[in-house]
């Protein structure tokens, strides 16, 4: 797969507010987006493993993490934020899809800036740390979350529900405290069941569903030794899937990238996706849109191209997107920050 480049990510997300909600996998999704907005590099192994640090690639820790007690409990908090002149990216660590803490996050959206993109998943903690019979509780919390989220965000906000990634047979993740180690052999099957519930409900509430479990079912060699987390190549692939989908939702053509990503020690022993044999789960489905390559000569000539109605592409209502369960309705052209946006958030302050 040809990954989205630094330059394409910059242009697509120019003056956009991106929010990522979820566990440690979602934290790495946030980190890869922040890194790609600044340079053509992959995350290092140490960056993928770190949590709660004061700063990552010029972002800042706003709440929780090393500012308070570091632990693996369900009350762990971590809020991170990357802000520049034209980007605002925020991450909230959550261990349950609906709780008092999640209600406070939704209140942030009501009182503050409205996100342009919300990328969210909560699954493994929900089904392992709260109830042995998790099904009814998880379904109820999903209903509450989707209903409240729908009433909080404007219609133009793109909400992407990521299905949980495949788990290994032997797990060593931080969420797997001694009290629940007996659940480890069954957990990978519970994730499949939970993905069915969450994907179906997200679809029913009009959210877009990105099936990461399906996408990476044949990429298990890129999973780390703990059986839970994934390497930098997979996270760049996830970022590319998300940004390609956002481009399609906004009716923007996403051509093939022209630049190669600089390798780090985290990827030196692994082939890049573009040079490796494409797994069966990553092939293009019939009827999916074609990304044009090379781009027009004037494609990168103006940073605000996103805000002009594109003449060479159509919103994704007109065809079935290959990575989502359903195609959303056509969105109005939405560019809330076309002019200079005053800084509502201090570089290292509270939101």
User: How far apart are alpha carbons 143 and 60 in whole angstroms?
Assistant: 32
Short-list 267, 18, 59, CA closest to 157: 18
Contact 297, 265 (CB under 8 A): no
- Residue 119 is encoded by which pair of tokens? 């990328």
Residue 163 gets which letter from DSSP? P
pLDDT at residue 210 in the model? 96
Strand partners, 78: 64
- Tell me which residue has tokens 């990238």: 257
Short-list 184, 281, 177, CA closest to 227: 184
pLDDT at residue 3 in the model? 84
Short-list 9, 143, 146, 145, CA closest to 89: 9
Contact 49, 66 (CB under 8 A): no
Grouping H, G, I as helix, E, B as strand and the rest as coil, residue 1 is coil
- Tell me which residue has tokens 């992959």: 42
Grouping H, G, I as helix, E, B as strand and the rest as coil, residue 22 is strand
Grouping H, G, I as helix, E, B as strand and the rest as coil, residue 151 is helix
pLDDT at residue 1 in the model? 56
pLDDT at residue 172 in the model? 83
pLDDT at residue 183 in the model? 86
User: How far apart are alpha carbons 52 and 60 in whole angstroms?
Assistant: 10
Residue 328 inside a domain? The answer is no
Residue 198 inside a domain? The answer is yes
Residue 349 inside a domain? The answer is no
Residue 34 inside a domain? The answer is yes
Q: Show the domain range for 62.
A: 6-318
Residue 116 inside a domain? The answer is yes
Sheet holding 158-162, edge to edge: 60-64, 78-83, 87-93, 16-22, 117-120, 158-162, 208-210
Contact 18, 90 (CB under 8 A): yes
Whichever domain contains 27, its CATH number is: 3.40.50.1110
Grouping H, G, I as helix, E, B as strand and the rest as coil, residue 46 is helix
Residues with Cβ < 8 Å from 154, sequence gap 6 or more? 114
What are the C-alpha distances in Å from 89 to residues 31, 50, 311, 329? 10, 18, 29, 25
Residue 330 inside a domain? The answer is no
Q: Read out DSSP for 256-308?
A: PP-SPPBP-TTTTTS--TTTSPPPGGGSPPTTPPPPPSSPPTTTTS-TTGGGS
User: How far apart are alpha carbons 173 and 165 in whole angstroms?
Assistant: 13
Residue 177 inside a domain? The answer is yes
Short-list 232, 202, 178, CA closest to 123: 202
Contact 40, 250 (CB under 8 A): no
Provide the domain count of the chain: 1
| pLDDT tens across the length of the chain (351 residues) | 578 999 999 999 999 999 999 999 999 999 999 999 999 999 999 999 999 999 999 999 999 999 999 999 999 999 999 999 999 999 999 999 999 999 999 999 999 999 999 999 999 999 999 988 999 999 999 999 999 999 999 999 999 999 999 999 888 877 788 888 888 889 999 999 999 999 999 999 999 999 999 999 999 999 999 999 999 999 999 999 999 999 999 999 877 554 444 444 444 344 333 333 333 333 333 333 333 333 333 333 333 333 333 333 444 444 444 545 444 544 444 444 333 444 444 444 444
User: How far apart are alpha carbons 249 and 330 in whole angstroms?
Assistant: 8
pLDDT at residue 144 in the model? 98
**Other CB atoms closer than 10 Å to residue 74's CB: what's the count?**
16
Residue 244 inside a domain? The answer is yes
User: How far apart are alpha carbons 261 and 87 in whole angstroms?
Assistant: 21
Q: At what angle do helices 135-152 and 100-111 cross, to 10 degrees?
A: 10
pLDDT at residue 257 in the model? 54
User: How far apart are alpha carbons 19 and 158 in whole angstroms?
Assistant: 10
Residue 114 gets which letter from DSSP? P
User: How far apart are alpha carbons 129 and 111 in whole angstroms?
Assistant: 31
User: How far apart are alpha carbons 120 and 117 in whole angstroms?
Assistant: 10
Strand partners, 208: 160
**Other CB atoms closer than 10 Å to residue 283's CB: what's the count?**
11
């Amino acid at each position: 797969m040809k990954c989205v480049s630094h330059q394409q990510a910059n242009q697509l997300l120019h003056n956009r507010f991106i929010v990522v909600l979820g566990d440690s996998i979602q934290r790495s999704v946030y980190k890869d987006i922040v890194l790609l907005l600044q340079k053509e590099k992959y995350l290092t192994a140490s960056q993928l493993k770190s949590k709660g640090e004061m700063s990552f690639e010029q972002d800042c820790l706003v709440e929780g993490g090393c500012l308070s007690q570091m632990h693996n409990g369900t009350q762990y908090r971590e809020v991170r934020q990357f802000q520049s002149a034209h980007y605002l990216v925020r991450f909230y660590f959550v261990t349950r899809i609906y709780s008092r803490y999640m209600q406070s996050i939704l209140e942030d959206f009501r009182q503050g800036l409205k996100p342009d993109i919300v990328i969210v998943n909560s699954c493994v903690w929900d089904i392992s740390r709260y109830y042995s019979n998790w099904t009814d509780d998880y379904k109820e919390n999903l209903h509450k979350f989707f209903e409240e989220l729908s009433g909080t965000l404007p219609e133009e906000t793109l909400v992407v529900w990521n299905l949980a990634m495949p788990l290994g047979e032997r797990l060593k993740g931080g969420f797997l405290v001694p009290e629940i180690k007996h659940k480890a052999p069954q957990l990978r099957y519970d994730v499949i069941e939970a993905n069915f519930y969450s994907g179906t409900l997200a679809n029913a509430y009009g959210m877009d569903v990105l099936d990461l479990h399906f996408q990476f079912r044949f990429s298990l060699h890129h999973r780390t030794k703990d059986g839970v987390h994934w390497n930098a190549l997979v996270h760049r692939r996830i970022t590319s899937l998300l940004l390609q989908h956002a481009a399609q939702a906004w009716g923007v053509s996403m051509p093939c990238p022209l630049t190669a990503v600089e390798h780090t020690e985290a990827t030196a022993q692994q082939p890049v996706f573009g040079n490796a044999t494409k797994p069966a789960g990553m092939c293009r489905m019939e009827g999916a849109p074609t990304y044009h390559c090379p781009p027009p000569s004037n494609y990168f000539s103006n940073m605000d191209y996103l805000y002009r109605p594109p003449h060479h592409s159509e919103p994704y209502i007109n065809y079935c997107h290959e990575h989502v369960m359903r195609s959303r309705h056509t969105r109005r052209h939405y560019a809330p920050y076309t002019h200079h946006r005053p800084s509502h958030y201090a570089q290292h302050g509270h939101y």
